[in-house]
Amino acid sequence: MCSFCKMAISEKQYAAEFVDREGNLLKFDDIGCMLHFVRNHNLKGKGVAYFVVDFEKRNWLEGEPTYYVKSEAIRSPMSGGLVAFRDRAKAQEYAAKLGGQVLNFDDLHP
């Protein structure tokens, strides 16, 4: 169950996780949900780790050294419009296909 919106996590390619300093693992059905949760609970800089799923390969990645594609054409569970890729070239290819933009982790936390 998503820690932000409380929906079931049913589409792995959009999933994310956040580990806080106390060791609590929070799960999210959408990268956007994780970002909203971190902002709403003033947790920026207070996490031990962020994890996201590679959109193409469906394996877990560390969130910080990952490339993200943001596009309104991405139909993620809570309309976050974000997917993650380990490979920058794959992210650029997908962004070009959707008319989206490639972001790094720091770009996600204004």
Q: Are 7 and 32 within 8 A, CB to CB?
A: no
Residue 7 placed within a domain: no
Contacts of 57 (CB under 8 A, 6+ apart): 86
Residue 55 placed within a domain: yes
Average pLDDT, the chain: 93
In the chain, the number of structural domains is 1
Range of the domain at 16: 12-108
Sign of the four-CA dihedral 67, 71, 73, 76: positive
Residue 6 placed within a domain: no
Q: What is the pLDDT of residue 79?
A: 87
What is the mean pLDDT of the segment spanning 85-109? 95
Q: What is the pLDDT of residue 46?
A: 75
3 pLDDT tier (thresholds 50, 70, 90): very high
Q: Are 54 and 12 within 8 A, CB to CB?
A: no
Residue 1 placed within a domain: no
Sign of the four-CA dihedral 72, 43, 84, 28: negative
Residue 17 placed within a domain: yes
